[in-house]
């Protein structure tokens, strides 16, 4: 069996985990072997005078002593469709990302002595069309076929990680603090068990009280950071029934400095720390994609997932039927479909948008006025629904004509619509 991998890629650090199908455990893979740091700085360095590339701390060291040129912030560079010039040669962001990912995934290949990948999930702080497309092309360049690659947000992988733990962990709400340099992110997860399937809601917010991790270098700074986090915890956890609190991020590599904060969050709650929540959650998700039936029979509603179902009604074989174009709980990047219809005495296509929260169905009306005027039932259209985020739907209607009698005009009606 091939590798089952979860890869967390951020502008500061990246991480990689693999799923063991025998033990059911997820294992972290490090750049320096056993005992090395799990976080790999997301930087790449081209050594001077040759086509040798380095990543992580080794890239920093070579650049520092003048033996190579360093490029950092690879995610941001890819989102901006940027480039970097190294020794007179211009490299596109996608080329640099390919070399970085190739090196990271190569760590798993060397460890398990195989280059075959059965399932790969990338996770990002925030996903988007451009960076997602880049990572898909990078994976394909590494001979990983499109159907084996998925791209999820940190929030989605937080959900996969928590649901993969003992159910007592998430018997009530789960809270998580992700302490980064100059930023604190707070995550929540809760299960709504009165519905079928069970709805899993998760959310993330950036708290206003971020601080530089360099303050932890002094006793006074540790005390200040402890006080800031304690105030955050008292505020966000107030009046909530929380069964577990998770700590992650570079700032929580040690918690010796956070005594007051720990006193707040440990009050009748389980508390545990993991530095690889997102990469491990991605590995659990990657394994789930190898199964015929998902091990997570839930409806996920969170960043990265649609909160509404998109459908329309059409007549098929004389019966009025509902055709679903996108299901609530689906990853937006993978959602959507297309179908062909014969226009029968209508001037607008009406799409129903039904949010999971609430019973009110909204309607999106797309006018067909731009199409050529033809007799009734002599226009065939192709309707496609895709998404550029979990909140933005893209609808395209293409005129396909009607055989030789009415050739296609080539007209495409396109509209973008915000959905709940």
Q: What's the confidence (pLDDT) of residue 358?
A: 77
Domain ranges of the chain: 3-152, 157-278, 308-418
Question: What residues contact residue 308 under an 8 Å CB cut-off, 6+ apart?
Answer: 328, 353, 354, 355, 356, 362, 419, 420
pLDDT at res. 38: 82
**Inter-residue contact 259 to 226 (CB < 8 Å):** yes
The DSSP element (H or E) to which 27 belongs, if any, is strand 26-29
Q: What is the pLDDT of residue 107?
A: 94
* Residue of 286, 333, 331 lying closest to 306 (CA atoms): 331
Q: How far apart are alpha carbons 149 and 117 in whole angstroms?
A: 10
Q: Looking at residue 33, what is its pLDDT?
A: 56
Rounded CA-CA distance 201/189 in Å is 6
Asked if the domains 3-152 and 308-418 are classified in one and the same CATH topology, the answer is: no
- At residue 314's C-alpha, the angle toward residues 311 and 316, to 5°, is 125
CA separation for the pair 66, 179 (Å, rounded): 33
The whole-angstrom separation of Cα 384 and Cα 395 is 6
Neighbours of 157 (CB within 10 A): 26
Note the pLDDT of residue 359.
75
Distance CA 286, CA 290 (A): 7
- What tokens appear for 334 in the block? 């993978």
- Could you give the C-alpha distances from 371 to 276, 384, 396, 410, in angstroms and in order? 52, 16, 13, 9
What are the pLDDT tens digits along the chain (420 aa)? 799 999 999 999 999 999 999 999 999 998 875 555 689 999 999 999 999 999 999 999 999 999 999 999 999 999 999 999 999 999 999 999 999 999 999 999 999 999 999 999 999 999 999 999 999 999 999 999 999 999 999 999 999 999 999 999 999 999 999 999 999 999 999 999 888 899 999 999 999 999 999 999 999 999 999 999 999 999 999 999 999 999 999 999 999 999 999 999 998 899 999 999 999 999 999 999 999 999 999 999 999 999 999 999 999 888 999 999 999 999 999 999 999 999 999 999 999 999 998 779 999 999 999 999 999 999 999 999 999 999 999 999 999 999 888 999 999 999 999 999
> Residue for token digits 């007209």?
411
Q: What is the C-alpha to C-alpha distance for residues 396 and 414, in angstroms, rounded to an integer? A: 4
Q: Which CATH number fits the domain 157-278, given the four candidates 3.40.50.300, 3.30.420.40, 1.10.599.10, 2.10.25.10? A: 3.30.420.40
With a CB cutoff of 8 Å and minimum separation 6, the contacts of 111 are 18, 29
Give the pLDDT score at 312: 96
Contact 20/29 with Cβ under 8 angstroms?
Answer: no
**DSSP secondary-structure letter at 255?**
-
Domain 3-152 architecture: 2-Layer Sandwich (3.30)
**Per-residue confidence (pLDDT) for residue 404, from 0 to 100:** 87
The conformation of residue 279, written as its DSSP 8-state character, comes to: H
Three-state secondary-structure class, residue 155: helix
Domain covering 308-418, topology: Substrate Binding Domain Of DNAk; Chain A, domain 1 (2.60.34)
């Amino acid at each position: 069996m091939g590798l089952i991998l979860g890869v967390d890629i951020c502008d500061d650090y990246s991480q990689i985990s693999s799923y063991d199908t025998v033990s059911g455990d997820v294992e972290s893979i490090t750049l320096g072997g056993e005992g090395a740091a799990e976080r790999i700085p997301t930087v790449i360095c081209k050594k001077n005078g040759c086509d040798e590339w380095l990543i992580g701390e080794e890239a920093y060291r070579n650049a520092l002593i003048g033996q190579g040129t360093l490029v950092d912030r690879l995610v941001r560079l890819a989102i901006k469709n940027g480039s970097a010039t190294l020794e007179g040669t211009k490299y596109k962001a996608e080329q640099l990302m390919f070399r970085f990912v190739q090196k990271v995934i190569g760590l798993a290949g060397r460890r398990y002595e195989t280059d075959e990948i059965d399932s790969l999930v990338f996770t990002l702080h925030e996903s988007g069309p451009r960076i997602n497309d880049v990572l898909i092309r990078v994976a394909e360049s590494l001979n990983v076929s499109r159907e084996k690659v998925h791209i999820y947000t940190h929030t989605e992988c937080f959900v996969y990680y928590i649901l993969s733990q003992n159910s007592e962990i998430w018997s009530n709400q789960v809270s998580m603090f992700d302490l980064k340099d100059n930023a604190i992110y707070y995550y929540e997860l809760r299960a709504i068990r009165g519905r079928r399937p069970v709805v899993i809601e998760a959310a993330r917010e950036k708290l206003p009280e971020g601080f530089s991790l360099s303050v932890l270098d002094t006793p006074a700074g540790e005390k200040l950071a402890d006080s800031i986090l304690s105030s955050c915890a008292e505020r966000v956890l107030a009046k909530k029934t929380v069964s577990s609190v998770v700590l992650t991020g570079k700032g929580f590599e040690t918690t010796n400095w956070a005594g007051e904060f720990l006193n707040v969050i440990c009050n009748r709650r389980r508390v545990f720390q993991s530095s690889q929540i997102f990469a491990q959650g991605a590995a659990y998700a990657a394994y789930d994609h190898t199964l015929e039936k998902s091990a997570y029979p839930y409806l996920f509603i969170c960043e990265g997932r649609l909160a509404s179902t998109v459908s329309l009604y059409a007549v098929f074989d004389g019966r009025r039927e509902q055709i679903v174009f996108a299901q609530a709980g689906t990853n937006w990047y993978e959602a959507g479909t297309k179908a062909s219809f014969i226009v029968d005495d209508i001037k607008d296509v009406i799409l129903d948008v039904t949010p999971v929260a609430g019973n009110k169905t909204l309607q999106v009306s797309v006018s067909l006025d731009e199409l050529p005027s033809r007799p009734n039932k002599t226009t065939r259209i192709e309707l496609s629904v895709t998404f550029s985020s979990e909140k933005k739907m893209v609808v395209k209607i293409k005129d396909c004509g009607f055989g030789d009698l009415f050739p296609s005009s080539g007209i495409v009606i396109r509209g973008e619509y915000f959905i709940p």
